Chains A and B, each alone.
Chain A
Amino acid sequence: MSDYVYDLKTAPNRQVTLPITVPLPSLKTYRAEQATAAKAEEAKFQKATADFETAKAKAEVAGTELPKPPVKAAPKREVHDLVTPIPSEAKDPDLLRLVERLGEGAEEAFEQSGELVCQVAKERILEALILCREDAALRYEMLSDETATHFPASSSFAFSVVYHLTSLSRAKRLRLRILIPAGFEPESATQAYPAANWLEREVFDMLGIRFQNHPDLVRILCPDDWEDYPLRKEYPVTGWGQRDIDFRDDRSGRLERLAMEKAGNTGINLKVPKAE
């Protein structure tokens, strides 16, 4: 009898396509992309003009009809009620203040979709959070949300952690963001905002990011003995503990009974038994 060892890599229904891009909104990246695109467009136009000149010279010699000169592509007219939000220069006084106070610690600040974003150096996030709460001009009293995203396609960092702060008195919102490599342990935000307790437990549970000086960093939604971190991109959607046995192929329940015996009657993670 062979042992039913679960193999993530070979199970066909658990194959994962990893993302190939790093969808991290950023003013710098956006500008660089725009510049590259404009350059490519310009090069294309230059080439078209050169082609046109040669074709024109040929046509003049041969005495045939002259070709049309190239025209620059006009910007597309939007026919939909849809204007893609693009990142813009930070103009809000809050962002300017934050950048001024943090100095080198503020890596980037921009606005997009009407939201204020400030990317902070990963070692200085606690300082930035305390500043946002204590500074008389900022006064972000509440941490609304904290979560993280996994970017397996990036070479310089593995996760982004975002903090959504709310100022009740001034009706403003701000997003702080840090980029961390795998294994890096950022300072826990609980030292500035107690609300981060469960939120960071959830981030740890779902993405496996550990936080320094967190009072109680244990899993919150998954069971304590759960393996792996579900919201990482390499984690399959069809998860652990799901049955491979389709009840339509097993009307008598024979396969399930066999599998139950092998799995030690746990009732989960039942694999189709191989032919005896």
Chain B
Amino acid sequence: MFDETEYMEINMGPQHPSTHGVLRLKLKLNGETVVECRPIIGYLHRGVEKICENKTFFQGQIWTDRLDYCSAVSNNLGWAEAVEKLFGITVPRRALYLRTLLTELNRLASHLIWLATHALDIGAMTVFLYTFRERELIMDMFEAFCGARLTTTAFRIGGLYQDLPPGFEAMVRAFLAKFPACLDEYETLLTENRIWKKRTVGVAKLSAEDAIALGVTGPVLRAAGVAYDIRKAFPYAAYRELDFEVPTRTEADTYARYLVRMEEMRQSCRLVAQCLDGLPEGPIMAKLPKVLRSEVNEIYHPTEAPKGELGYYLVGEKGSLNPYRFHVRAPGFANLQALPKMVEGGLVADIIAAIGTLDVVLGEIDR
């Protein structure tokens, strides 16, 4: 019969529908149990950091769209704020509010994709169709705002290049009136679903200590009981003036992460509504010189992307039009590092749940 010391080594990916891109896992299996898991990445490496070092600060933003392509607006916000921090630019309040508004809409879109693909991987097909229906509305809003749906390049350094188009507010209001009921609809499909709970409760656990040691952030860390949200801890954009809660759970499993993200979507709705209600009047663009030439400076700017801490590290050279050094601290990169910890000792089938719950997008991991 099968010798217990003989393990089977197989490759999962890089082309596998549940790996959300081109992620390859080298697995060592003992029957159905995972003995060792080694993620191999880099199949989508395009050298964004090198490219941006040879582009101007204005051109660099276009490349940030293509990092985490599910949440381009979040990436744009991080870039715009990082460059503003490098130069010491003060952005008008109206622009901050509009940026927050669009970023929170993007968080909804990103979480909807996560829910769709995560549930689809585990076998719940219906949710996929439902969430893409609502995501379409958000994509329409982005299209109305900047003409693009996915790669938005929504902001400019110093503010925005245009105000909200006519009819945009009505679109958002209609969406906000409808969306909480949609969230309830997803929850009726999943939250108490016995199959869903069997596939997620107690699966792919990651304790708070391990998560912190491995640099894991975002909903995965919050589901382990650590209420760390950069919007609260290091407020940026307009978050200082807005009221929202940071949902946490203590179970640290896939089901807890699902609940945390669902609650985050409700909080995002609150934030969007507050941004619309409290939208200040005024200019949307700071007064800036035509050409931005940097001084010697070095900054690291973290923002709370839907997946976790998205940090941009920039080094400015005196009199230069482009960054001397650009580095992306991608949330997915750090989160994926914890995957072996989550799946080793578990079943092969649970790897699918673990990848889904980490919400990996290989575009930002490989850069």
Contacts and interface: CB of A to CB of B under 8 A. Distances in A.
Given A164-B311, A171-B233, A82 B298 contact: no
Contact of A147 (B54, B215, B287, B313): B313
29 contacts: A23-B320, A24-B298, A80-B287, A81-B89, A81-B158, A81-B288, A85-B88, A113-B86, A113-B297, A144-B309, A144-B311, A145-B311, A145-B327, A162-B313, A164-B300, A164-B313, A166-B302, A168-B233, A173-B234, A173-B300, A195-B215, A197-B337, A198-B333, A220-B41, A221-B41, A221-B366, A222-B45, A237-B54, A239-B47
A145 B212 contact: no
Interface of B: 41-42, 45, 47, 49-51, 54, 85-91, 158, 212-215, 226, 228, 233-234, 286-289, 295-300, 302, 309, 311, 313, 315-318, 320, 324-325, 327, 329, 333-334, 337, 366-367
A223 B234 CA distance: 37
Contact of A142 (B90, B215, B324): B215
A220 B42 contact: yes
A201 B297 CA distance: 26
Contacts of A175: 298, 300
A193 B214 CA distance: 7
A263 B51 CA distance: 27
Nearest to A145: B329
Contacts of B296: 23-25, 29-30
A180 to B, nearest CB: 15
Nearest to B55: A237
Contacts of A219: 42
A67 interface: no
Given A164-B311, A168-B233, A231-B50, A23 B324 contact: yes
B313 A23 contact: no
A141 B49 CA distance: 27
Contacts of B317: 19, 21, 23
Across the A-B interface, the 8 shortest Cβ-Cβ residue pairs: A195-B215, A81-B286, A23-B317, A145-B329, A221-B42, A171-B233, A149-B325, A147-B327
Nearest to B299: A113
A239 B51 CA distance: 11
A141 B86 CA distance: 26
Contacts of A112: 297-298
Contacts of B41: 220-221
Contact of B49 (A82, A117, A193, A231): A231
Contacts of A32: none
A168 B208 CA distance: 12
Contacts of A195: 213-215, 334, 337
B286 A230 contact: no
Nearest to B216: A195
B12 to A, nearest CB: 18
A149 B315 contact: yes
B286 A115 contact: no
B300 A115 contact: yes
A275 interface: no
A11 interface: no
B287 A81 contact: yes
B324 A194 contact: no
B257 to A, nearest CB: 18
